[in-house]
Amino acid sequence: ALFHPSVDLEWKLIYVGSAEDETYDQLLESVLVGPVNVGNYRFVLQADPPDPSKIREEDIIGVTVLLLTCSYLGQEFVRVGYYVNNDYDDEQLREEPPPKVIIDRVQRNILCDKPRVTKFPINFHPENSESGEQPPPPDQPAGTEGNVELAAQPEHNNEQQGP
The CATH number of whichever domain residue 110 belongs to comes to: 2.60.40.1490
* Adjacent-strand bridge partners of 106: 88
* pLDDT tens string 24-65: 999 999 999 888 777 788 888 899 999 999 999 999 999 999
Determine, yes or no, domain membership for 22.
yes
User: How far is the CA of 119 from the CAs of 70, 76, 104, 149, in angstroms?
Assistant: 10, 9, 37, 11
Task: Give percent of the chain with pLDDT exceeding 70.
Answer: 73
How distant, in Å, are the alpha carbons of 33, 49, 82, 125, 150 from that of 9?
5, 23, 20, 14, 12
Q: Is residue 1 part of a domain?
A: no
Mean pLDDT of 11-24: 96
**Among 64-68, 117-121, 133-137, the least confident range:** 133-137
> How much is the average pLDDT of 3-27?
88
In a domain, 24, yes or no: yes
In a domain, residue 106? The reply is: yes
In a domain, 95, yes or no: yes
State pLDDT tens for residues 56-74: 999 999 999 999 999 988 9
Count the domains in the chain.
Answer: 1
Does 3 reside within a domain?
no
Range of the domain at 145: 9-161
